[in-house]
Amino acid sequence: MRLNHYVLILLLVLTGCTKNIEEKDETEKDNSTDYSQQIPVVDEVWLKNKIENRNSKILFINFWATWCEPCVEEFPDLVKIYNGHKNSGLEFLSVSVDLPSEIDSKVKPFLKEQSAYFPVVVIEEKRSEEVINLIDPEWNGAVPATVIYDENGDKREFFTQAGDYEFFNESIKKVKNY
């Protein structure tokens, strides 16, 4: 009888441990696609610092939103651009102009769906105008928009229309050879 008790307790402990291990695995799996730490809400000051601190890398910034049809269309090509250039002296920054309140509900699910693992930031809505003017005083804020800065932080390319892999790749090459 006493032995049966020990066996029962042992079984309960083991089952409990297994459950804990399973829960831990599940959490780790979620974390690998969880952007909570990687999607800060930023303003023009943050972006200006990013542009100026180049560390000998050119900077490719794409402005987009989940509500923007052409942005969504060009997104797979941007993922390809990032994957192809991440080890070649290119810093890639994806700037979403979705609302900060939509990070969890819209931005993260979209990035997961696109298997996009590049750095993403979201613009603080009240700083939109300052961000637009920092990038280009002639830009009125239509997205998508893409801007490429050289290793010195000088703006070399700026497009306010959607592009494809070939187009972005050529633009990056052009800036690298400048």
Partner 1 sequence: MFKKMLFISVPIITIMILVLIAYPGSSSGESNFVSTTKIENFTLVDLYGNNQSLKDYNDEKAIVVIFIATRCPVSNAYNTRMVELYNKYHDKNIAILGINSNKTEDIDECKTHSEEHGFKFPVLKDEKNVIADMFEASYTPEAYVLNSKTLEILYHGRIDDSREESNVEVADLSNALDEIIGGEKISVAKTKAFGCTIKRI
Q: Give the footprint of partner 1 on this chain (CB under 8 A).
A: 63, 65, 67-70, 97, 99, 101, 123, 125-126, 128-129, 132-133, 137-144, 160-161
State how far the Cα of 69 lies from the Cα of 49, in Å rounded to an integer.
Answer: 30
What's the CA gap between 88 and 79, in Å, rounded?
A: 15
Residues 6+ apart with CB under 8 A from 108: 34, 35, 36, 39
Nearer of residues 144 and 175 to partner 1, judged by Cβ: 144
Q: How far is the CB of 28 from partner 1 (least distance, A)?
A: 35
Least distance CB 152 / partner 1 (angstroms): 23
State the minimum distance, in angstroms, from the CB of residue 68 to partner 1. Answer: 6
CB-nearer residue toward partner 1: 8 or 142: 142
Closest to 157 (Cα-Cα) out of 59, 44, 77:
59
